[in-house]
Structure 1
């Protein structure tokens, strides 16, 4: 029964050992049985927290543009050990993290207008920095990137060159 539960769980996507332990506990599988079955799955590398963490970080940083802080929290929630999480997070460089944040800001900036007005710019900076904070970026990094992208956009004649629409 425990083997079947684990195989079903792993069919959809990779899982950490902790996630599988919780699922087995939900199904009232005795702890000693769960431990033995999970040990067997680890022995044949069907359950591997370090590999799970590497795949999770790669996927979430590329697709969702999450910063290392958010990824670290997610891995902790999934029960991945700190050393395995740190190794996986090392895949993401400062440059990659900054580039991902820039992409997010540039995408949102396309819909903003009137940024040459100081009040509008300040409001946009706060909103964009908040968006980055929700994705795990540190405040200093978020504000720096937002301001750099807005400055570059205004110099290039991008967002901000079109006045706001009058109602």
Structure 2
């Protein structure tokens, strides 16, 4: 019995009916956008890319994306703010790495700047310290210079500025008993 309902739904469903595209590209565009937005928030650029892959004409895509933006289903500013908070709290990413991720998702530069600037510098430093504290025990017994490089490198991969990274690691090593004079006051210049 359930199989009959399912096959009947396919016959009426258009895109699911044997691989044929429905006659209405606007309906296809709405369906694609709603399906993607139901699984997770998306940027306008991500949705536009998905519509291009589904061969939705540009004018139809723009009309549907405009309507979705007008009713608040697409909001790149809210997406960027949520992304920054989530990825900073969850992965410990710094402003630079967060900005790069948002740009890869098609968020406009001004929106990216506003979102990452909302991240408090004190919060960023606190997160850097927590990352170092979490990683520090795994480096015990390793040469101090090598520990410094590994920990600063870990922070660099997460987008933290070199000066902040070096200072936070140096302080963490000093708190653990390392000789603070063993390291220069500033990070060595990059070659």
Do they superpose with TM above 0.5? Answer: yes
Instruction: For structure 2, list consecutive stretches of 5 or more residues without a partner in the other structure.
Output: 1-27, 179-191
The two structures have a TM-score, normalised by structure 1, of 0.87
Partners in 2 of 1:140 and 1:11 — Cα distance? 41
1:64-79 aligned at under 5 Å gives the runs 64-79=91-106
Count of residues in correspondence between the two structures: 151
User: Which of the residues 147, 150, 156 maps onto 2:173?
Assistant: 150
RMSD between aligned residues: 1.1
Instruction: For structure 1, list consecutive stretches of 5 or more residues without a partner in the other structure.
Output: 156-167
Partners in 2 of 1:56 and 1:107 — Cα distance? 23
Partners in 2 of 1:26 and 1:137 — Cα distance? 36
1:106 partnered with 2:129: no
1:84 Cα deviation from its structure 2 partner? 1.2
Q: Higher RCO, 1 or 2 (CA under 8 Å, sep at least 6)?
A: 1
Deviations 1:36-91 (A, max 9, x none): 00000000010011011011001001110000000011111111111211111122
Partners in 2 of 1:129 and 1:90 — Cα distance? 23
Partners in 2 of 1:148 and 1:25 — Cα distance? 51
Superposition misfits of 4+ residues, deviation over 4 angstroms: none
Partner of 1:158: none
The two structures have a TM-score, normalised by structure 2, of 0.76
Partner of 2:45: 18
Partner of 1:87: 114
